[in-house]
Structure 1
Amino acid sequence: MTASRISAFEIIASGLGYPESPKYLPDGSVLLVEIRNQCLTRIGADGSRTRVADIKGGPNGLALGPDGHAWIANNGGFNWLDVPLPNGQTLAIGTTQPDDYEGGRIEHVNLSDGRVNMAYRSFSDGMDMSGFGPRQPKPVSHPKPLGLRGPDDLVFDKTGHCWISDWGKQRPRDVDVTGIYYAAPDGSKITEMIFPLSCPNGIALSPAEDRLYAAMTYSRQVMYWELDGPGRIRPNPLSMDGSHLLTADLPGQAILDSMTVDEAGNVYVATMLPDGNNPMSNGGFSIISPDGKDVEYVPIQLDGAFAPLPSSLCFGGADRKTLYATCGSAGLLLKATVDTPGLALNFNPYQ
């Protein structure tokens, strides 16, 4: 396995409102979303913070698009549960769909002035549900629009189009069944590409963009779909959703959040609660080789603080050998060093 070894983690910022989806910027700062605080925030290299934009609902995923501005996967918000720990720390847990839920959406944020504009709220259900594999288009004169439920993460391919995972929403007695979408960067078209899925979370592309990866939160699996080109899935005929299993060999009872990839093609997945439902424990990161045969787990270790729910990660620095990680429930932004550089993402080669 050519995966990176990860150094000890250092706390860069604390007191954040369930941070997710860090993105490194050329000036050494990190842009991230705060789901609970409903905002887009810039964290300086010195730990200072600037509120870039207010984003109602639940800003969950963040990517820099071909226009150089921020694209947000907005899950529509949560009800929140505060869990006090004996060490004085309080963890924030997002739970069910809130009373003021207005649907999920994809939004665009102008980083120059903080303006937030709607890109997508729905997609058209003009797909054939018969048979197996990814859904196939069928002629529908007036396709029924279906609302996005809880968009979670997004990644841009080299053409500027965007792959989007929709985690859905949970209510006290039921949950959404959702999928993965492919969207144009001008707001003109969004296509449902994979359905049905149960809580698809992190999403990433391989270095050659011949694989689309997704983390399944509760089934504890990292899946991938083979791509024939931008926006074209080559389905696995042996699975209902056209997917391949990269691995389900994950530590303990861990569940999964967001992911990224290094330049060697190894997949890094935020790995929550490896000891089960124990808030006084630390999560970490699972590093999976491209063939799925090797899985390395790197726990987070902090003095005096617990981080049971690491939420997302990215690479940064001029050499892309700094790993930045958000710890959602603990409200932390961390950094560490790695041996293998991260993959240079489209439209943001610094991270």
Structure 2
Amino acid sequence: MQERKLDYRVVTEGLLFPEGPIAMDDGSVLVVEIKGGRLIRVWPDARKQVVAELGGGPNGAAIGPDGACYVANNGGFHWLTEDIFDTRGYMRPHGRAHDYAGGSIQRVDLETGEVTTLYTYCDGVPINGPNDIVFDANGDMWFTDHGKTYGRVMDSGAVYHAAADGSWIRQAIFPMVTPNGAGLSPDERTLYVSETETGRLWRWPISGRGEVSKQAWPSPNGGILHGQATGYQRFDSMALEANGNICVATLVTGGISVFSPEGEKLEYWQGPEPYCTNICFGGPAMKTAWITVSGRGLLIAVDWPRPGLPLLHQRMGVTA
């Protein structure tokens, strides 16, 4: 495995724990602010534009088949602010927000900023802490429910598949330990999910709408272990390269861990701080990586050595 340092440039700063970057065809990047409870558009000249007020804890985002932005809202964290890592006011989440009222999947009209709540339950079970979201070619969304931690209790997590119009949702995987990032292989036959606290990357063959093929025990969740952390690393969200490599944002030893489609850990790119939370690809030839550096409130850009995999909205040419 190769270890390198990210050669990055800061696109903008002053964000309130950014996550869920989305590279748009007009050159802007959408991010959510988990602490700020907002959806923000960041322009190449560092300008920030508030697109929508979301409340709670918007954690992940994706553009759907209708050009709207869909947000996985975890309901909110409690926050600690400290002067560490040479940063005054360094932010980090710590448990469930005091005013937590549940998680949800939200739809944002990018032209008007109108916010619609699509899902808060699945078959009577509350969605506790939605984290990451990815759309397939059929226009349905896969999303993770990380769960919440409060006092001595930690929720079991799950993965769901749902329609973009709010009409259909199914639990596909349960239980998981803090499922976080979600991604699809280039042929969309494989679903990848990272777990934060275990530092594990799992995969499942997709067998139908809302269905994956599952391994028997001793797999704890029916998945195939695809890769795992080196040392003490916590896994966050992810993006895929066009060749099928899986790029997982890595916490504690903050950076990007790259796994091959066969499960080999190929590279570790060291970032500027412990909370490198998410990555997306875009730009010319899909070779620009945008990474959220959340504790310091940064969005950074990196010239990536290989092209990223275009997501649904990039294949459709959505610019809204």
Tell me if both proteins adopt one fold, taking TM over 0.5 as the criterion: yes
The equivalent residue for 2:165 is 186
The equivalent residue for 1:300 is 271
**1:1-351 alignment, distance < 5 Å:** 8-85=7-84, 87-124=86-123, 145-238=124-217, 239-248=219-228, 250-274=229-253, 283-301=254-272, 307-349=273-315
- Aligned-pair distance for 1:295? 3.0
Q: 1:40-87 CA distances to partner (integer Å, 9 max, x unpaired)? A: 000001111100000010111100000001000000001110011273
- Aligned-pair distance for 1:172? 1.8
- Aligned-pair distance for 1:200? 0.1
The equivalent residue for 1:131 is none
Q: C-alpha distance in 1, partners of 2:87/2:275?
A: 17
Q: 1:160-199 CA distances to partner (integer Å, 9 max, x unpaired)? A: 0110100011102111112100101110111111111110
- Aligned-pair distance for 1:112? 0.5
Instruction: Output the amino acid matched with 2:182.
Output: I
Q: C-alpha distance in 1, partners of 2:51/2:119?
A: 21
- Aligned-pair distance for 1:230? 4.4
- TM-score using structure 1 length: 0.86
Greater strand content? 2
Identity %: 38
Instruction: Output the amino acid matched with 2:311.
Output: L
Instruction: Output the amino acid matched with 1:217.
Output: T
- TM-score using structure 2 length: 0.94
| SS, match of residue 95 in structure 1 | strand
- Aligned-pair distance for 1:89? 2.9
Q: What do you get for the CA RMSD once the two structures are aligned?
A: 1.9
- Aligned-pair distance for 1:251? 2.9
Q: C-alpha distance in 1, partners of 2:266/2:215?
A: 23
Inter-CA distance 86–222: structure 2 relative to 1 (3 Å threshold): closer
Q: C-alpha distance in 1, partners of 2:184/2:48?
A: 30
| SS, match of residue 264 in structure 2 | coil
Q: C-alpha distance in 2, partners of 1:226/1:88?
A: 43
Instruction: Output the amino acid matched with 1:265.
Output: G
Instruction: Output the amino acid matched with 1:322.
Output: T
Task: Answer whether contact 1:324 1:333 (CA < 8 A) is retained.
Answer: yes
Q: 1:1-33 CA distances to partner (integer Å, 9 max, x unpaired)? A: 9x9x88611111111100001001111110010
* Structure 1: tracts of 5 or more residues without a match: 125-144, 275-282, 302-306
Q: C-alpha distance in 1, partners of 2:48/2:275?
A: 22
Instruction: Output the amino acid matched with 2:224.
Output: H
Q: C-alpha distance in 1, partners of 2:221/2:246?
A: 21
Q: C-alpha distance in 1, partners of 2:85/2:177?
A: 34
* Structure 2: tracts of 5 or more residues without a match: none
Q: C-alpha distance in 1, partners of 2:187/2:259?
A: 17
Q: How many residue pairs get matched?
A: 316
